[in-house]
Chain A
């Protein structure tokens, strides 16, 4: 099973063949489903039934799936909704999270510990369990079927982890920097925004990544709080679309591909930062 090596010389490493064989097998397992869907979304219906494993050829190539999807559903609007909700949530999570992290880690006051514990609780306990009451609250506030409801909930959901990670990093900002600034008479808000925040950029990036993905991919809250046609996010939109057009394979494949493309593209562009962020922040 898993052997490990320490030096460049072969006697200490498990067989190179084993290592690469295992890794490649899993690579195929990870990629194949996605590739299959993507490939076949560009084929005509008969073509992918007959020979699903083949690449689209000039004869079999067809965009019919895509035209159906773009024609029958408001895919672009769904993308827009997801975009707005994700970016807005991210902004507030980072802003309020950093401020709270600063307030909790920098200043000593009574109840500091309890507040930290209060927030930490939210990391382990899923917010979904309170949905019954959240929905009631949204009804009372007249926020059902609005993007605002989603933003509020996601911010509440993302704050605990953001605060924990950010306060860890803030704790590492050298005390002398802050003290020097205070000696110069700079006020606390300035210190926060202009000295501390720029120094913890890697932490902010890590938090952004950790938070963005679950928000973008979430099904539960859009389903429960904002299922109206105008406010559907892309995740919900795809789910409804596929549920509705279940047997219209072209459309289904095309819609899935459309949902995959933006994530894969962004990932391809930012994968190095993302993985660096996760491996750095995760060990804490």
Chain B
């Protein structure tokens, strides 16, 4: 490394720093600031301290939507953790076995949905699940489950789960790839040593492979968390900004959008929108902080 600060260093770093600061870091800080203001009907802004936050969190007009969105977002995250990551783990584990024919083809195809735009995914699944077109009904009756079919997307009780599963279907490629990379990085001779000692494939998975990919599983969890609490595109595509039926698919991202831009009966409010954004930021920050603390303490990458 070269010592010293010269004008050259400035030239190297300046463009990135400038753009990043102007369009990413500062707007974020500004949003945090804006959340502390309120605007009256003329649009004039005045400092309001934490008033916006108290409103969102406790004023029934706002708080019901907020806590509803929060609860939904948590459910959204839970479904991803329960479905996306275990299935991703299963697929990665199967693909990392030796001598699986066509493994490369499987890998390629599994990753395909992740590359498609969420808009496409949203519409494709909407079509398939649509009671009007009847494809899913037909497919289900092929396996004898025809009675199961219901317009899941339209029912308040099932809409959120359905949308969550759509999101899982799309994104499963990412945890799958990350876990796959971690699994193939485990030196083969460690596995062989375990085999020689008499470990069954089951035991090898749980006591050798899994502990060694724990850091990656942690990474996958935090990435899922951040992505889920930032999610918007899919719900917007499938259900619009109003996130029906009856706000059952409303998550923090859609709440933010509505609050900021206004929608139908709700008046646009940049300040309230900023407050919602700040709350989202805090939620994500808490999650990230927990992750880093856990990483520092327990999950350490072992020198292999």
Instruction: Choose from A5, A108, A131, A219 the contact partner of B97 (Cβ within 8 Å).
Output: A5
Instruction: Choose from B107, B188, B288 the contact partner of A6 (Cβ within 8 Å).
Output: B188
- Given A37-B124, A217-B118, decide whether A239 and B237 contact each other with a Cβ distance below 8 A: yes
| Residues of B close to A132: CB separation below 8 A | 27, 30-31, 34, 260, 270, 273-274, 277
- A118 CB to nearest B CB, Å: 7
Instruction: Choose from B134, B181, B202, B285 the contact partner of A125 (Cβ within 8 Å).
Output: B285
| Residues of B close to A109: CB separation below 8 A | 3-5, 9
Instruction: Choose from A14, A133, A267, A283 the contact partner of B31 (Cβ within 8 Å).
Output: A133
- Given A159-B20, A239-B119, decide whether A124 and B284 contact each other with a Cβ distance below 8 A: yes
* A264 lies within 8 A of chain B by Cβ: yes
Output the residue of A8, A49, A106, A127 with the most chain B CB within 10 A: A127
Output the residue of A6, A34, A128, A271 with the most chain B CB within 10 A: A6
| Residues of B close to A264: CB separation below 8 A | 112
Contact between chains at A275 and B20 (CB < 8 Å): no
Contact between chains at B98 and A283 (CB < 8 Å): no
Residues of A194-233 at the interface with B, using a CB-CB cut-off of 8 Å, are: 213, 216-220, 224
* Separation of A260 and B87 alpha carbons in the complex (Å): 25
* A238 lies within 8 A of chain B by Cβ: yes
Contact between chains at A152 and B233 (CB < 8 Å): no
Contact between chains at B107 and A275 (CB < 8 Å): yes
Output the residue of A2, A29, A104, A163 with the most chain B CB within 10 A: A2
- Given A118-B25, A129-B31, decide whether A107 and B5 contact each other with a Cβ distance below 8 A: yes
* Separation of A279 and B181 alpha carbons in the complex (Å): 5
* Separation of A218 and B116 alpha carbons in the complex (Å): 10
| Residues of B close to A22: CB separation below 8 A | 90-91, 94
- Given A4-B201, A97-B16, decide whether A127 and B24 contact each other with a Cβ distance below 8 A: yes
- A210 CB to nearest B CB, Å: 10
Instruction: Choose from A1, A110, A156, A235 the contact partner of B24 (Cβ within 8 Å).
Output: A156
| Residues of A close to B108: CB separation below 8 A | 267, 271, 275
Contact between chains at A103 and B98 (CB < 8 Å): no
* B169 lies within 8 A of chain A by Cβ: yes
- Given A107-B5, A107-B9, A125-B285, decide whether A99 and B15 contact each other with a Cβ distance below 8 A: yes
Residues of A150-180 at the interface with B, using a CB-CB cut-off of 8 Å, are: 152-153, 155-157, 159-160, 163
Contact between chains at B24 and A128 (CB < 8 Å): no
* B209 lies within 8 A of chain A by Cβ: yes
* A71 lies within 8 A of chain B by Cβ: no
Contact between chains at A213 and B9 (CB < 8 Å): no
- A206 CB to nearest B CB, Å: 12
Residues of A53-102 at the interface with B, using a CB-CB cut-off of 8 Å, are: 53, 92, 95-97, 99-100, 102
- Given A8-B99, A23-B94, decide whether A220 and B232 contact each other with a Cβ distance below 8 A: yes
| Residues of B close to A2: CB separation below 8 A | 89-90, 93-94, 205
| Residues of A close to B226: CB separation below 8 A | 124, 126
Counting from the closest, the 6 A-B pairs by CB-CB distance are A103-B12, A130-B27, A100-B16, A133-B27, A156-B23, A109-B5
**Measuring CB to CB, which residues of chain A are less than 8 angstroms from any residue of chain B?**
1-8, 12-14, 19-20, 22-23, 26-27, 29-31, 33-34, 36-37, 48-49, 52-53, 92, 95-97, 99-100, 102-110, 115, 118-119, 121-122, 124-134, 136-137, 152-153, 155-157, 159-160, 163, 182, 188-189, 192, 213, 216-220, 224, 235, 238-239, 242, 249, 252-253, 256, 259-260, 263-264, 267, 271-272, 274-275, 278-280, 282-283
**Measuring CB to CB, which residues of chain B are less than 8 angstroms from any residue of chain A?**
1-6, 8-9, 11-13, 15-17, 19-20, 22-31, 34, 87, 89-91, 93-100, 104, 106-120, 123-125, 127-128, 133-135, 138-139, 169, 177-178, 180-182, 184-185, 188, 191-192, 194-195, 201-202, 204-205, 209, 216, 222, 226, 230, 232-233, 236-237, 253, 260-261, 270, 273-274, 277-278, 280-281, 284-285, 288
A-B contact pairs, 16 of them (CB 8 A): A6-B98, A36-B128, A100-B17, A103-B9, A119-B20, A126-B226, A128-B230, A129-B28, A130-B28, A131-B31, A132-B34, A156-B23, A157-B24, A213-B115, A239-B119, A253-B127
